Amino acid sequence: MTKTKKNNKMDLFILILVNVILSFGIYHSFVILSLSFFGETTLGVLDSYGNQLIDIKAGENQSRMISKTYHFSVGGKEYRGSAYYSGDEAWPSLQENEFRTERISYLSKFPNINKPTHLVDIDELGPMGLFYYISRIPFCLFLLLLVNGWRGKRKKREKKTNKTEKLNKRRDDAMFCGNCGTKLPDEAAFCGNCGTPVPKAKKEKHRPLSQASISPQDKSLVGWSPNSNDPEILEAARQNKKSAIGCAWFFMLFFPIGFILAGLLIDEMPLNEAIIIGVGLGVLMLVINLWRIKDMKAPQWEGVVIEKYKKERREHKKDDSMTTYTELTTIIKTEAGKKKRITERDSERHMYDYLAVGDRVRYHPSFGTYEKYDKSKDRIIYCNVCRMMNPISNDRCKRCNNLLFK
pLDDT of residue 1: 46
**Single-letter amino acid, residue 210:** S
CB atoms within 10 A of CB 98: 10
pLDDT of residue 13: 74
pLDDT of residue 286: 81
Distance CA 352, CA 338 (A): 19
Distance CA 48, CA 25 (A): 26
Please give the backbone phi and psi of residue 43, each rounded to the nearest 5 degrees, phi first. Answer: -95, 125
On whether the CB atoms of residues 305 and 359 are closer than 8 A, the answer is yes
Distance CA 135, CA 226 (A): 43
**Angstrom distances, CA of residue 343 to CA of 312, 327, 375, 381:** 13, 7, 22, 19
Note the pLDDT tens digit of each residue in 217-264.
455 688 899 998 899 999 999 888 888 888 888 887 888 888 878 877
- What's the rounded mean pLDDT across residues 339-351? 89
pLDDT at position 391 over 90 = yes
pLDDT of residue 58: 67
Which H or E run contains 249? helix 231-265
Tell which wins on pLDDT, 111 or 319.
Answer: 111
Query: Which range (41-55, 202-216, 228-242, 363-377) has the least confidence?
Result: 202-216
Residue ranges of the alpha helices (H) in 121-230?
Answer: 122-147, 150-175
pLDDT of residue 202: 36
On whether the CB atoms of residues 138 and 290 are closer than 8 A, the answer is no
- What's the rounded mean pLDDT across residues 352-375? 92
Indicate whether this model's pTM tops 0.75: no
pLDDT of residue 199: 62
Q: Reduced to 3 states, what is the DSSP secondary structure of residue 107?
A: coil
pLDDT at position 87 over 70 = yes
- C-alpha distance across the termini of the chain, in Å: 50
> Taking the CA of residue 64 as centre, how many other CA atoms within 13 Å lie in the half-sphere pointing to its CB?
13
Closest Cα to residue 18, out of 10, 9, 8?
10
pLDDT at position 186 over 70 = no
Query: Which range (93-107, 130-144, 181-195, 254-268) has the least confidence?
Result: 181-195
Closest Cα to residue 372, out of 380, 360, 364, 388?
360
Please give the backbone phi and psi of residue 357, each rounded to the nearest 5 degrees, phi first. Answer: -60, 130
Compute CA 308 distance to the chain's CA centroid, rounded to the nearest angstrom: 30
Distance CA 269, CA 276 (A): 11
Confidence of residue 10 (pLDDT cuts 50, 70, 90): low
pLDDT of residue 154: 53
